[in-house]
Amino acid sequence: MFLALRELSFAKGRFALMGSVIALVAVLTVLLSGLATGLVDDGISGLRALPVTHLAFQSGADSTFSRSTVDGDSVAALSAVPGATAEPFGLTLVNATSNHDLNVDLALMGLAEDGFIAAEMFPDGPPPARAAVISQGLIDQGVNVGDTLAIDRSTVTLSVVGVAPTATYGHVDTVYVTLPDWREVSHLAPEDGALTASVVAIDGGNSDELKRAGTAAGLDIVTRSEAYAGSPGYSAETSTMSLIRGFMYLISAMILGSFFTVWTIQRSSEIGLQKALGASTGAVLRDALGQVLIVLTAATAVGAAIGFGLGKLIEGGEVPFALDLATVLSAAAILIVSGAVGMLVGVRKVTSVDPIIALGAAA
């Protein structure tokens, strides 16, 4: 490593230029990771906040709330599964107008008043009839406690009585209401008073037993995380961002591979001299790998730190962006690994340098 460190000191400009490119790639990778996480959170954070393990959709609904309707028999069938607690749950995307003429989009969640979801999310009691607890995101838009929300295409007007932590579904802020109010808004309130909801929310129970009971009742049982795919745009957004990040890692590997291939060719005479003086191929290879890892790790660390700082400036604004230390570290680690794979292509030429030919070319 002595020669590797001396060379880093001697060719500072060259390695600084390469390090700058790696750092910029790291900044972009961290920011893309934050954007990807923010898009996911903005799409399913309201669903992820629910204290449920499984959801039962109408058969063939593809985990989409707008395509699913369940009844009391569905709830009863799943409640009979040992260890499972089941209750009806409604979710509908609607538009509303506040008493200050503010137009807002809402992900209206209907909760059973005596159910386990309301008990866990609202220990002081669920919202009463014709009332709503709104997400903090709506407060940021200008809706306040005490305001009223008139639901479009409905006669229902809700009074805002409380505020819950920021949560969204399909990039729309969540609002929690009673299940009867949700039914009326969704036009699912039959005259005979029969129970209707979007899905059956389940906590606990064996997955296999739940699926057997669900199949018998004409239901598709999915885990909460599997239900994320039904959020509008979720699958397309996650696959697109994953593809973009994959290309970033591929580009970083190609950049490093190209740089160190050229660098090794330029150093052929020096490598040949080391071998002629008795240095083994393994020693020369370790020297080259150590040099590359120092540049790669240092530049990635600097770029990740800059990206984290920029991300914190973006976070909390209108752009859906969420970044934490674990996300930054994982992005940096993947970048280092992909870069290391690329550099192997460049430094492998070290093993093929013939000292006689290299010294003859230098002469």
Query: Which pLDDT tens digit goes with each residue over 77-103?
Result: 999 999 999 999 999 999 999 999 999
More confident residue, 7 or 131: 131
In angstroms, what CA-CA distances link 92 with 105, 185, 234, 352?
Answer: 11, 9, 16, 65
CB 98 within 8 A of CB 148: yes
Q: Characterize 343-361 residue by residue with b for buried, 16 or more Cβ atoms within 10 angstroms of its Cβ, and e for exposed.
A: beebbebbeebebeebeee
Six token digits for residue 94: 């609607």
Q: Residue 361 pLDDT more than 60?
A: no
CB 134 within 8 A of CB 162: yes
CB 93 within 8 A of CB 107: yes
Domain spans in the chain, listed from the N-terminal domain onward: 2-44+234-362, 60-217
Q: How many separate helices (H) and strands (E) can be counted in the chain?
A: 13, 12
Q: Residue 117 pLDDT more than 60?
A: yes
Predicted pLDDT at 362: 47
CB 174 within 8 A of CB 109: yes
Predicted pLDDT at 352: 62
CB 80 within 8 A of CB 213: yes
Average pLDDT over residues 38-65: 92
State how far the Cα of 195 lies from the Cα of 61, in Å rounded to an integer. 19
Strand pairing partners for 124? none
8 alpha carbon, distance to own chain's centre: 38
Residues 28, 31, 36, CA angle at the centre, nearest 5°?
120
Query: Which pLDDT tens digit goes with each residue over 244-263?
Result: 888 888 887 787 777 777 77
Predicted pLDDT at 208: 94
State how far the Cα of 272 lies from the Cα of 128, in Å rounded to an integer. 82
Query: Which pLDDT tens digit goes with each residue over 150-172?
Result: 999 889 999 999 999 989 999 99
Average pLDDT over residues 56-65: 93
- Find all residues with CB under 8 Å of 259, minimum gap 6, and list them: 18, 346
Q: Residue 360 pLDDT more than 60?
A: no
Predicted pLDDT at 159: 96
State how far the Cα of 127 lies from the Cα of 31, in Å rounded to an integer. 38
State how far the Cα of 15 lies from the Cα of 185, in Å rounded to an integer. 64
Predicted pLDDT at 230: 87
Predicted pLDDT at 245: 83
Predicted pLDDT at 356: 59
Q: Rounded to 5 degrees, what are φ and ψ at 156? A: -85, 130
